[in-house]
């Protein structure tokens, strides 16, 4: 199913329906937010080690083509491309306080993580969406996965 340029479709009623801001993530290699230590090049520790709250992840089955995680420390969204299909993995982010939706796009390829650093209101909540993106057409594709609302500060 094609969703067009906006993140429309079978979205929960509370999700934003305007065209999202699309951000290309920074390639972080094959170690993502759940890695216990940083890369050998001295990048310190990954998001999971930097915070007391574990990252929240969705889309962990290959059918979605992407895995999306949120690490509350630093408001970092991580996206893993899990399917070699010519499309990019994408992680949509919605808020419950009116901020426009954003999409972190992984153009690094299959089995690579990218991260997008955002700045969200610490008292707010976000919702993640894992899906695929075709940069040639600017369209998003499903199947997709939605998270529950996640507190930005990581305190459930």
Report how far residue 75's alpha carbon sits from residue 152's, in angstroms, rounded to the nearest whole number.
Answer: 7
Confidence at residue 34, expressed as pLDDT on a 0 to 100 scale: 72
pLDDT digits (tens, 9 = 90+) for 25-68: 887 877 788 764 443 333 334 444 444 567 889 887 777 899 99
Confidence at residue 29, expressed as pLDDT on a 0 to 100 scale: 74
Confidence at residue 146, expressed as pLDDT on a 0 to 100 scale: 94
Residue ranges, the chain, pLDDT below 70: 1-18, 35-53
For residue 50, the 8-state DSSP code is: H
Confidence at residue 8, expressed as pLDDT on a 0 to 100 scale: 39
Confidence at residue 132, expressed as pLDDT on a 0 to 100 scale: 94
Confidence at residue 125, expressed as pLDDT on a 0 to 100 scale: 96
Q: Is 13 helix (H, G, I), strand (E, B) or coil?
A: coil
Confidence at residue 22, expressed as pLDDT on a 0 to 100 scale: 85
CB distance 77 to 104 below 8 Å: yes
Query: Can you give the residue ranges of every domain in the chain?
Result: 2-151
Q: What is the pTM of this model?
A: 0.76
Confidence at residue 103, expressed as pLDDT on a 0 to 100 scale: 95
């Amino acid at each position: 199913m094609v969703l067009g340029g906006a993140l429309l479709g079978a979205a929960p009623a509370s999700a934003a329906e305007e065209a999202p801001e699309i951000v290309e993530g920074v390639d972080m290699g094959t170690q993502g937010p759940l890695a216990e230590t940083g890369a050998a090049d001295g990048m310190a520790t990954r998001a999971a080690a930097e915070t007391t709250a574990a990252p929240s992840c969705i889309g962990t089955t290959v059918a979605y083509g992407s895995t999306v995680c949120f690490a509350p420390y630093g408001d970092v969204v991580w996206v893993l491309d899990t399917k070699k299909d010519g499309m990019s993995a994408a992680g949509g982010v919605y808020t419950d306080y009116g901020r426009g939706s954003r999409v972190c796009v992984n153009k690094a390829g299959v089995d690579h993580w990218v991260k997008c650093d955002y700045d969200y209101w610490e008292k707010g909540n976000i919702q993640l969406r894992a899906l695929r993106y075709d940069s040639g057409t600017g369209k998003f594709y499903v199947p997709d996965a939605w998270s529950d609302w996640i507190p930005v500060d990581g305190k459930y």
